[in-house]
């Protein structure tokens, strides 16, 4: 059991470049696990946690419906946005400036081998973080992510989740709207869920919130829940 996690803050980085980097780290862990099994060795697998802020981009999960993107190529270009169909779960989402994106690339054999628990823990990290700002958030049954005012006509999503796992190794992760431009969500049916709004920490508090401050709170709650240490 190796509970140390290497923290890598990429700052602002292109989505495709970050995806390629994730794949490289992900495959490195998988390769070690394959070698361990083949040679009956016990080489310790590393864990990583990436923070990143992407330029405007829409991503569609492997089970997603392209009709949930409401823009054509020309309109995407006009908005300065790109689009990628990717290998995570979930439908369509938006990433952009003012949003904290977290990509835990973990060997769950180092923590617990339960994908459902992993997703719930990611949600709990965000719920605990938002609590510190006096924002009461929760889960919405059957809808991955973190929501406000679930069960009311004012239900709105503040954090999207989508992951990929293989051999208990994770990639992709969560996107928390902090100071994001919510207008970009008007160009999609977020996560394929019609009639549900999105929000941000800035919209809820009526003020901008420092991203570094939010990141430190996310790391604190992540370390506690996963019984991990960031290095």
Instruction: Tell me how many degrees the CA angle 84-97-158 measures, rounded to the nearest 5.
Output: 85
H/E element holding 84?
strand 82-85
Q: Does the annotation place 160 within a ligand binding site?
A: yes
Assess contact for 178 and 214: CB atoms under 8 A: yes
Q: Can you give the pTM of this predicted structure?
A: 0.94
Q: Does the annotation place 175 within a ligand binding site?
A: yes
Phi, psi values for residue 163, rounded to 5°: -130, 165
77-89 confidence digits (pLDDT tens): 999 999 999 888 7
Q: Does the annotation place 15 within a ligand binding site?
A: no
Q: Which of 77, 95, 10, 100 is nearest to 48 (CA)?
A: 10
Active site residue 159: no
CA distance 145 to 153: 18
Q: Does the annotation place 173 within a ligand binding site?
A: yes
Which residue segment(s) compose the domain that 21 sits in? 4-230
Full pLDDT tens readout for the chain, 231 residues: 689 999 999 999 999 999 999 999 999 999 999 999 999 999 999 999 999 999 999 998 887 888 889 898 899 999 999 999 988 877 888 999 999 999 999 999 999 999 999 999 999 999 999 999 999 999 998 888 999 999 998 999 999 999 999 999 999 999 999 999 999 998 887 655 555 789 999 999 999 999 999 999 999 999 999 999 999
Q: Does the annotation place 162 within a ligand binding site?
A: yes
Catalytic residue among 191, 198, 201, 219: 191
H/E element holding 15?
helix 15-39
Measure Cα distances from 25 to 55, 63, 107 in Å. 22, 24, 11
Q: Does the annotation place 82 within a ligand binding site?
A: no
The predicted pLDDT at position 193 comes to 57
23-33 confidence digits (pLDDT tens): 999 999 999 99
Q: Which of 197, 226, 172 is nearest to 5 (CA)?
A: 226
The predicted pLDDT at position 88 comes to 86
Residue 105: give its domain's CATH number.
3.30.930.10
CA distance 209 to 206: 9
The predicted pLDDT at position 215 comes to 98
Assess contact for 103 and 50: CB atoms under 8 A: yes
Q: Which of 64, 90, 163 is nearest to 121 (CA)?
A: 163
Count of domains in the chain?
1
């Amino acid at each position: 059991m190796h509970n140390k996690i290497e923290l890598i803050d990429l700052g602002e980085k292109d989505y495709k470049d970050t995806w390629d980097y994730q794949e490289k780290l992900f495959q490195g862990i998988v390769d070690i696990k394959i070698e361990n099994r083949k040679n009956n060795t016990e080489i310790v697998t590393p864990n990583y946690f990436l923070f990143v802020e992407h330029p405007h981009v829409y991503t569609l999960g492997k089970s997603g419906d392209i009709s949930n993107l409401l823009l054509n190529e020309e309109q995407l270009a006009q908005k300065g946005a790109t689009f990628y169909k990717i290998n995570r779960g979930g439908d369509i989402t938006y990433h952009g400036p003012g949003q904290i994106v977290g990509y835990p690339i973990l060997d769950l054999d180092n923590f617990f081998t339960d994908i459902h628990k992993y997703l719930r823990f990611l949600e709990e990290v965000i719920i605990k973080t938002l609590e510190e700002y006096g924002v009461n958030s929760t889960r919405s049954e059957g809808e991955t992510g973190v929501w406000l005012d679930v069960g009311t006509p004012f239900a709105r999503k503040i954090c999207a989740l989508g992951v990929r796992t293989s051999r208990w190794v994770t990639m992709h992760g969560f996107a928390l709207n902090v100071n994001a431009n919510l207008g970009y969500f008007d160009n999609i049916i977020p996560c394929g869920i019609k009639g549900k709004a999105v929000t941000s920490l800035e919209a809820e508090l009526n003020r901008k919130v420092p991203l570094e401050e939010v990141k430190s709170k996310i790391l604190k709650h992540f370390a506690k829940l996963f019984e991990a240490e960031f290095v």
